[in-house]
Structure 1
Amino acid sequence: MQYKKLGNTEITVSRLCFGTLTIGPLQRGLDVEAGAGLIRQALELGVNFMDTAEIYGCYPYIKEAIRGFPDAVVASKSYAPTGPEMQKSLYKCLKELGRDYVDIFLLHEQESLFTIKGHWEAVEYLVKAREKGLVRAIGISTHYVAGVRAAASIPEFDIIHPLINRSGIGIADGGARDMLDAIAFAAMMGKGIYGMKCLGGGHLIPEMDSAMDFILAVPGLTAVAVGMQSPEEIKYNVSKFSGIMPDQKLVEQLKGKKRRLHVEDYCRGCGQCVERCTAGALAIVDGRARVNMELCRLCGYCASVCPDFCIKVI
């Protein structure tokens, strides 16, 4: 496994980051023992970096997995817009991880300078938390080119977590080339950058080798968070990110795996998922939520607001 420092921080991470969204309650919904077992398998193979978020509900998995791995690097995210709300989110993270500090804590899903300024009270709190040693680095996650460019010019931020893949799937305000240019600018500004959605939420699985080759060649991208749900996926990704040719039988097996957003028949069409979806992939048709899979990022965030628990990524 290859390791690099994140920008101007002192945080050294594996190029492969374990994205925990896919094992948690918003997607596969593994029990804690099974989910922690997958993370631990990755840790034992040299993956020292995990990405999560308050909304994912994955802190218990990580707490269990990192027993015996005191140097594991954990990044989390919160939507909290104010100082007191961000303090609550951070302390929840620390308590549920069983740690005195978290390595990276980000503003979740920022769009532009305007949304960042709208969360500035939360940023000021995180700056103070960093000074106290509760957080090692702060920044944003974003699906927007404008978000990357804005964060790159904000001296308080250490880390940017952007969406990037070869086809530009999920980038909200441009294409892959636009995001690559923004990432290059952010790297030049000394920010630590780790990407997400390199397989486009699963859409690029049929061309996974070329999608991975693309993401591994992006200058300025220190690491990439990849969602993994099985030992086979971990084995493939560890090989790929270590510069080792994966077993072709394994590649063909994983290429056959397809994922989709499933809405149960008992959906009553309340519309909360439609409001939550930032990709415009959901609509209420004939009294029930319907998904446009060409637009869906397979993030599962819509499931977090469904009052009847009828949405899942399967």
Structure 2
Amino acid sequence: MTQISRRQFIQAGLIGAAAASTGFAGMSYINPTDSMIDRVKLGKTGLIVPHLALGTGTHGGKQSSDMTRMGIQNWLKIARYAQERGMTFYDAADLYGSHQNVKEILKEVPREKATLLSKIWTRPEDWNKDAPKATIDRFRKETGSEYFDILLLHCMTNEKWKEEKKPYIEALSEAKQKGIVKAVGLSCHSFEALKVAADDPWVDVILARINPEGVIMDASPDEVMAVLKKAHDRGKGIIGMKIFGEGKLSEESQREKSLRYVIGSKNVDCMTIGITSVDQVEDVVKRISRIVKEV
């Protein structure tokens, strides 16, 4: 009987998983390669992270996402495969309900070799009634991790976030002082919020929407990239999201162009992409590994 590796077994078992929503529609099967994701400095945070984070928020909301709806065991197959490619960077959030996913993979990946990012939803919800400090403690229990590498305010939509989210900022600052959080910041969903973040000394990390077509972004690519350059030059860690425009940039040429644009800018340290199958892991790791060497 011909023997196959665990990697080949996982690949065969998950080919054909739903892909359109993450920007991989119509992608053909790619044979496994030896490509590994590289590691990069995240601004001046002192963190060294994989170039690509395993996103867990596709079609996320109300503590659910495509990654949680597929079931823990199915997601773990993808996360284990990603681990073999060097992707031990997990992008979670309370809004996605994905802390349980992270908890399970961290049982297999040594904590010191993982990068854990989560995001605090600051708007009143039935599942989010705790005070900021209590919310952080709940996150620690839900993920099974005593600390977070990165903890962000989730989805800031105006220039007044510093004033409006002051209790959360104070709680995050205290957690950082205690070593519960290594780096703090926000995910931006408006150009005004992004511009404030670029100038604010409290912000260590910015999660920003960026792609060359301006799809689901806060301003034009040139405008956003100029602010990201300013923030990056000031030492802030920049994580790109919506690289494939939430699936709207699904053609191979579009994926290639977007990755080349983001990586080639030198203003985005790393990125997060929602992934729902191992062939998506294979494709994007292979592309990033090649483009990093070319730009």
Q: Which residue of structure 2 lines up, in the alignment, with residue 151 of structure 1?
A: 197
Q: Which residue of structure 1 lines up, in the alignment, with residue 52 of structure 2?
A: 16
- Equivalent residues, number: 244
1:30 aligned partner, one-letter code: M
State the superposition RMSD in angstroms. 2.0
Contact 2:260 2:291 in 1 (8 A): no
Q: Which residue of structure 2 lines up, in the alignment, with residue 60 of structure 1?
A: 100
Identity %: 27
Q: Which residue of structure 1 lines up, in the alignment, with residue 8 of structure 2?
A: none
CA separation of 1:21/1:81 partners in 2, compared to 1, >3 Å: closer, same or farther? closer
Residue 222 (structure 2) pairs with residue 177 (structure 1): yes
Q: Which moved more, 1:140-149 or 1:23-32?
A: 23-32
Contact 1:39 1:62 in 2 (8 A): no
1:1-314 equivalences under 5 Å are 1-22=37-58, 25-27=64-66, 29-69=69-109, 70=111, 71-80=113-122, 85-172=131-218, 174-206=219-251, 207-243=254-290
CA separation of 1:87/1:106 partners in 2, compared to 1, >3 Å: closer, same or farther? same
1:66 aligned partner, one-letter code: L
Q: For residue 85 of structure 1, report the CA deviation from its aligned partner.
A: 2.4
Greater relative contact order, per chain length (Cα 8 Å cut-off, separation 6+): 2
Q: Give, in whole Å, the separation in 2 of the partners of 1:80 and 1:52.
A: 15
Q: Counterpart of 1:22 in 2: which secondary structure?
A: coil
Q: Which residue of structure 2 lines up, in the alignment, with residue 269 of structure 1?
A: none
Q: Give, in whole Å, the separation in 2 of the partners of 1:191 and 1:198.
A: 19
Q: Counterpart of 2:265 in 1: which secondary structure?
A: coil
Q: Which runs of 5+ in 2 are unaligned?
A: 1-36
Q: For residue 105 of structure 1, report the CA deviation from its aligned partner.
A: 0.6
Q: For residue 124 of structure 1, report the CA deviation from its aligned partner.
A: 1.0
Q: Counterpart of 2:206 in 1: which secondary structure?
A: strand
Q: For residue 55 of structure 1, report the CA deviation from its aligned partner.
A: 0.7
Q: Counterpart of 1:242 in 2: which secondary structure?
A: helix
Q: For residue 81 of structure 1, report the CA deviation from its aligned partner.
A: 6.4
Contact 2:56 2:65 in 1 (8 A): no
Q: For residue 16 of structure 1, report the CA deviation from its aligned partner.
A: 1.0
Q: Give, in whole Å, the separation in 1 of the partners of 2:59 and 2:195.
A: 31
Q: For residue 33 of structure 1, report the CA deviation from its aligned partner.
A: 1.1
Q: Which residue of structure 1 lines up, in the alignment, with residue 16 of structure 2?
A: none
Contact 1:140 1:159 in 2 (8 A): yes
1:221 aligned partner, one-letter code: V
Contact 1:23 1:229 in 2 (8 A): no
Q: Give, in whole Å, the separation in 1 of the partners of 2:58 and 2:157.
A: 23
1:132 aligned partner, one-letter code: K
2:264 aligned partner, one-letter code: A
Q: Give, in whole Å, the separation in 2 of the partners of 1:157 and 1:231.
A: 34
Q: Which runs of 5+ in 1 are unaligned?
A: 246-314
Contact 2:157 2:193 in 1 (8 A): yes
